[in-house]
Amino acid sequence: MRPAVVVVAYNRPHALRRLLASLAVVQGAQDVPLVISIDRGGDQFTAVVAEAEQFTWPWGEKRVLVRERPLGLVQHVFACGDLVDEFGAIILLEDDLVVSPMVYRYAASALDFYADEPRVAGISLNALWFHGITHQPFTPYLDDGDVFFMQVAWFQGQAYTQKQWAAWRAWRATAVPHIQPSDGLHELFQTFPPTDWFPLKTNYLVQTHRFYVFPRESLTTNYGDSGTHVRGTSFFQVPLQTRRADFRLQPLADSVAVYDSFQEMLPGCVRQLTDQFDAYDFTVDLHGTRSPANIPTEFVLTTQAMRQPLKTFGMELRPLLANVLYQQPGVGISFGRTADLDRRWVARWQAASRYHAYFVRHKVGRRQRLKGWLARWF
């Protein structure tokens, strides 16, 4: 495929200039249209238009599309996504991103590879490194592919085919615009403002049993410039893969690194890695974020506190699942009946403390640091 590049811009001329500079040196683009869509409004509107107009796109035709009226972030993103009908496939970038020189090679390859996979709803260009609920590091299970799959509509660089975007658009036309308690998502999704389309898109993935494809090494990074949702942060910065030209893409059916909207591995994938739970219908809750309403099975594998668990595992190996696969002795991870979850506040506090401590690696003491320094220099 030869996807067009579509940039979503609003009121941040410095951010747009930075993104366009990174796009100017992408590899693998030839005769590729660039559309810079600018939402009207904001005190920097004129400067944004000037940045777009003066930029020279070396890889094909450039179009500056100035919206006739203010759309707001959500409707602007949707309108930009609709450009896929004209181009057949697009790379969709918000203006606070910077891209790797390899972003076009990856996006074009992934779009082509997954074009006929009905369970793939889109391609993420960003490697999601943290758990969205706990904000602790998220490490997908390592298999023989350069991608993993998840029911999270991550927005820091995306790519779509016309078919993928059309299915989402059709669902959105009839969907309830607000997340319902019965939708099976974490309760946090019910608190997002209407200026954010991310919860609705994630709900689409859950309700239609679709997934995004994620790279293990990121092709975009986010500067977190002040805008509609943030007030300046470096939290979303990630290393960029700047050298790889070929990517090991694998079918969704062949991968064990497949995750739901809670960023938990699907039970079917866990069963492919261990036979410990073959006799059970269970839910995975290794990050301990599910409420009882979001554990629909009789059994659960969890870091929440549990009375009389059938199995327990320590919390030493990384990622968390490795402790289960290697049957690490200890406590912290429990497998047992959902009805036996201990909801007392003391038990919940102790479980949360263990979970937090797991991600805070023990630092080397002063004596060990001094020995290391002496060994290096003498």
Domain boundaries, the chain: 4-259, 267-359
Would you call 46 exposed, middle or buried from its count of C-beta atoms within 10 A (0-12, 13-18, 19+)?
exposed
Query: pLDDT tens for residues 43-85?
Result: 999 999 999 999 999 999 999 999 999 999 999 999 999 999 9
Give kind and range of the element (H or E) at residue 371. Answer: helix 366-377
Is pLDDT of 341 > 70?
yes
Is pLDDT of 298 > 90?
yes
Which residues, in sequence order, are bridge partners of residue 99? 220
Determine contact, residues 332/313, Cβ cutoff 8 Å: yes
Cα 334 → chain centroid: 27
Q: Indicate the DSSP class of residue 34.
A: E
CA-based radius of gyration for the chain:
23
Query: pLDDT tens for residues 231-254?
Result: 668 899 999 999 999 999 999 999
Is pLDDT of 372 > 80?
no
Integer CA distances (angstroms), 6 to 29, 61, 163, 274, in order: 14, 12, 17, 43
What mean pLDDT comes out for the span 252-268? Answer: 98
Is pLDDT of 162 > 60?
yes
Name the pLDDT band for 368 (thresholds 50, 70, 90). Answer: low
Instruction: Give me the phi and psi of 123, to 5 degrees please.
Output: -115, 120
Instruction: Give me the phi and psi of 134, to 5 degrees please.
Output: -90, -20
Name the pLDDT band for 365 (thresholds 50, 70, 90). Answer: low
Edge to edge, the sheet with strand 211-215 lists: 62-66, 34-38, 4-9, 89-94, 158-161, 120-124, 211-215, 147-150, 258-259
Give kind and range of the element (H or E) at residue 51. Answer: helix 45-54
- Domain 4-259, what fold? Spore Coat Polysaccharide Biosynthesis Protein SpsA; Chain A (3.90.550)
Is pLDDT of 28 > 80?
yes
DSSP H helical ranges for 99-222: 103-113, 162-174, 198-208
The tokens for 367 are 């004596």
Is pLDDT of 146 > 70?
yes
Q: Does the bond joining 193 to the residue before it have cis omega, within 30 degrees of 0?
A: no
Query: pLDDT tens for residues 92-119?
Result: 999 999 999 999 999 999 999 999 999 9
Query: pLDDT tens for residues 206-227?
Result: 999 999 999 999 999 999 877 6
Return all residues near 368 (Cβ < 8 A) that are at least 6 apart.
none
Quote the CA–CA distance of 23 and 108 in Å, as a whole number: 15
Specify the pairing of strand 89-94 against strand 4-9: parallel
